[in-house]
Structure 1
Amino acid sequence: MIMYASRITSLPPYLFAAIDKAKQEVIKKGADVINLSIGDPDLPTPPHIVEAMKRSVSNPERHRYPSYEGMLAFRTAVAAWIKKTMKVDLNPEDEVLTLIGSKEGIAHIPLAFLNPGEVSLVPDPAYPVYNIGTILADGKPHKMPLLAENDFLPDLDAIPARVAEKAKIMFINYPNNPTSATASIKFFEEVVDFANENDVLVVHDNAYSEMTYDGYKAPSFLSVNGAKEIGVEMHSLSKTYNMTGWRIGYAIGNRDILSGLGKVKTNVDSGAFEAVQEAGIAALYGPQDCVREMNGVYKERRDALLAGLKELGFEVKPPKATFYVWTRVKGSSLDFSRMLLEKAGIVATPGVGFGEYGEGYIRFALTQPVDRINEAVERMRKLGI
């Protein structure tokens, strides 16, 4: 009999794999499914990035093993982009680390800093990988509830002293997935104070920094005084440049933390394909009109969905960032999402799939054109929702 390790059997089913399986079952029955669940951009990667990839992939020098930390040219492009967009100074040689997508870095960083039984502070609801990475490192996740009454920010004062003493890592994520909440510089300053008081490393997931609306600009955690002494920030090209399938991202910040993450990476992967890194260089140095145009498309979709949901009586707040709409529902979020899928052919993500404090909410992703979003609203109206 094949027995899995306890760290595997203790993992919850990966949320989006379960959703995809349920979606496929409905499609097999002939339903026209409108998928508003997973945060995978439906817009194509901008042409100048694709062209850079085409040129690079034909270069035989790119067919060999890449460097573990990433091409210096890519890390230099990252440092220049961060300086330009977020006013944060970085040394590309040791304050930037190339990742095979930010998910990889998030999942691996607990392996570098958590001993068995040590604690990571994990938001709830949240992107599942903060919790999963902790479990795979034999650590213990401690939930930080994200509640509407606190604008979906963790209450740092509510973390018990005995937990704070054992904590080694804190994960935060703003603009936030799934709630689409944003954080102020003041909140980041409080996180730095907490980290210093309790000797905790901070990992800020900033994958949605450029996906913003209505004049809002998302700050970098590293722009706060003292943040670079205790933390790192994870970035991804996936959402900013519609490159989810390309698997390219980076971590920036404290050189010692990045060194620890790098030691894990050198032992478990061989670095990102250099042709993809060269495409990333084209994205970071190239024209940024594509980002503004993308945000215009998502804003139009956001406004269409918000108008429809409000008409139907949903309690919803217009998000200033991300391409998610987080809304309350009555009763079980799992039952509600199942009803949407089976009776209306709409795939939405149940809030409880992001953690127990996500119960009572549904997350819609703005990954369909306006006409399909309007069609989804019409289907819900016909159901009497």
Structure 2
Amino acid sequence: MIVEAKRTHQISEYFFSEKMKEIKNLKKNGLNIINLGIGNPDLFPPYGVIQKMKQASELKNANTYQSYIGIDALRNAISNWYKKVYQVDVDPENEILPLMGSKEGIMHISMSYLDKGDEVLIPDPGYPTYSSISKLLEAKIVYYDLYENENWIPNLEKLSKAKIMWINYPHMPTGATISFEELEKIVFFAKKNHVLLVHDNPYSLILNEERSFSIFNIKGAKDIALELNSLSKNYNMPGWRVGMVIGKKKFIHNILKIKSQMDSGMYYPIQIGAIEAMNHDLKWIEGLNIEYFKRRKILWDICDFFNLKYEKNSSGIFVWAKITDSENNDQIWSEQFLKNYHIFVTPGRVFGHNGKGYVRFSMCCPINILEEAKNRIFS
């Protein structure tokens, strides 16, 4: 008998992978399911991006293996984009590694720095992939609590030293933002305790009325920090799988040791399309946010109907809402919502123990579909 690796016993299939199969079956049975659970942008990338990619696909060497570190023009575009968006100087030769989506970066960073038994600090609630990859590598997970009454900011006095600490602001799933001063405190904690601080930063341009922060806005952060970023949410390119990790030369070199064993470079036309996206003026982002403002208002109306509590100053592409009835069970609430209205929303417990009692709505649906969802509920 062929037996699976024991490490697979530490994890299960990704929640959304399983849930999408369930929804697919419901649709096969004739139910019109509206999916408000997944953060999968439905809008087009900026004008010209797809055309540039198409043109590049016709070039002579477009379909050959590409550099493991991306073409020079892509790394230069990322460097210029960091300067434009965050006012941060990044060396395109040594401090940038393009990724096939930032999710793979979580694996590459973890494999580069975590040995069996190493402690890793992971937010609760937080992105489930931090935990699943740490389990696969047999690292010791130390969850640090985030609470609504503390604005979803870690209490550093309760944290112990670890090899890696994951942070993510604007925060997923809650949409909480962080002040410069609070981010500075986290960097100081990491420097004092020799912790590799990894800031996962894919939502900084979406509905963020405060200034968009990079971890490298903090003086001295490059000594101990890495930052993941992505074009998936910022430029509606999730299926393109374009991300990046930023950090000092030594960190990037170690991550490249892992990455170069696992893929053979990003498809050239996608790199050309990514360059075109990042070259757009930030006014394009303003237009994107106008659309998300409209969508969020509809979700707020739905939350108000059910007396759900939410924070209007949150950022990102989700509405994170607290169930206020006596049951306060997010899993039951989500299943009943799907049964009664044929609308899927994500139960908060997917993101950790401290997500219990909350549900997450995604804005990644056209306004007419969101209005249909609202009408189903209100009728």
TM-score by length of 1: 0.94
Q: Tell me what 2:79 maps to.
A: 79
C-alpha distance 171-128 of structure 1, shift in aligned 2 (>3 A): same
Deviation at 1:11, TM superposition (A): 0.7
CA distance in structure 2 between the partners assigned to 1:342 and 1:255 by the alignment: 52
Q: Does the 8 Å CA contact 1:312/1:381 hold for their aligned counterparts?
A: no
Q: Does the 8 Å CA contact 2:122/2:142 hold for their aligned counterparts?
A: yes
Give 1:53's aligned amino acid. M
Q: State the Cα deviation string for residues 118-148 of structure 1 (Å, max 9, x = none).
A: 0111111111111122122221221111210
Deviation at 1:331, TM superposition (A): 2.5
Give 1:364's aligned amino acid. F
Matched, 1:375 2:372: yes
Aligned match of 2:204 in 197, 201, 209? 209
Deviation at 1:293, TM superposition (A): 1.4
Q: Tell me what 1:193 maps to.
A: 188
Matched, 1:353 2:350: yes
Give 2:175's aligned amino acid. S
Correspondence 1:277-292 to 2 at 5 A: 277-292=271-286
CA distance in structure 2 between the partners assigned to 1:312 and 1:138 by the alignment: 42
Q: Tell me what 1:122 maps to.
A: 122
CA distance in structure 1 between the partners assigned to 2:250 and 2:134 by the alignment: 20
CA distance in structure 2 between the partners assigned to 1:231 and 1:37 by the alignment: 31
Q: Does the 8 Å CA contact 1:182/1:218 hold for their aligned counterparts?
A: no
CA distance in structure 2 between the partners assigned to 1:343 and 1:310 by the alignment: 18
Give 1:179's aligned amino acid. T
Q: Does the 8 Å CA contact 1:170/1:200 hold for their aligned counterparts?
A: yes
CA distance in structure 1 between the partners assigned to 2:220 and 2:205 by the alignment: 23
Q: Tell me what 1:242 maps to.
A: 236
CA distance in structure 2 between the partners assigned to 1:316 and 1:376 by the alignment: 19
Aligned match of 1:172 in 167, 170, 186? 167
Q: Tell me what 2:179 maps to.
A: 184
Q: Tell me what 1:5 maps to.
A: 5
Correspondence 1:1-385 to 2 at 5 A: 1-159=1-159, 161=160, 164=161, 167-213=162-208, 215-329=209-323, 330-381=327-378
Q: Does the 8 Å CA contact 1:26/1:342 hold for their aligned counterparts?
A: no
Q: Does the 8 Å CA contact 1:310/1:316 hold for their aligned counterparts?
A: no
Deviation at 1:381, TM superposition (A): 4.3
TM-score by length of 2: 0.95
Q: State the Cα deviation string for residues 195-241 of structure 1 (Å, max 9, x = none).
A: 1121110110110111124x332211110011111001101011111
CA distance in structure 1 between the partners assigned to 2:11 and 2:302 by the alignment: 37
Of 303-312 and 177-186, more deviation after overlay is shown by 303-312
Higher percent of residues as helix: 1
Deviation at 1:174, TM superposition (A): 0.5
CA distance in structure 1 between the partners assigned to 2:366 and 2:278 by the alignment: 27
Q: Does the 8 Å CA contact 2:215/2:227 hold for their aligned counterparts?
A: yes
Of 372-381 and 218-227, more deviation after overlay is shown by 372-381
Give 1:249's aligned amino acid. G
Q: Percent identity?
A: 36
CA distance in structure 2 between the partners assigned to 1:375 and 1:64 by the alignment: 46
Q: Does the 8 Å CA contact 2:46/2:280 hold for their aligned counterparts?
A: no
Residue segments in structure 2 that go unaligned for 5+ positions in a row: none
CA distance in structure 1 between the partners assigned to 2:315 and 2:271 by the alignment: 26
CA distance in structure 2 between the partners assigned to 1:358 and 1:203 by the alignment: 22
Of 130-139 and 200-209, more deviation after overlay is shown by 130-139
Give 2:340's aligned amino acid. K
CA distance in structure 1 between the partners assigned to 2:184 and 2:111 by the alignment: 26
CA distance in structure 2 between the partners assigned to 1:59 and 1:194 by the alignment: 49
Q: Does the 8 Å CA contact 1:124/1:143 hold for their aligned counterparts?
A: yes
Deviation at 1:319, TM superposition (A): 4.0
Give 1:244's aligned amino acid. P
Give 1:49's aligned amino acid. V
Deviation at 1:268, TM superposition (A): 1.2
Residue segments in structure 1 that go unaligned for 5+ positions in a row: none
CA distance in structure 2 between the partners assigned to 1:212 and 1:199 by the alignment: 33
* Secondary structure class of the residue paired with 1:309: helix
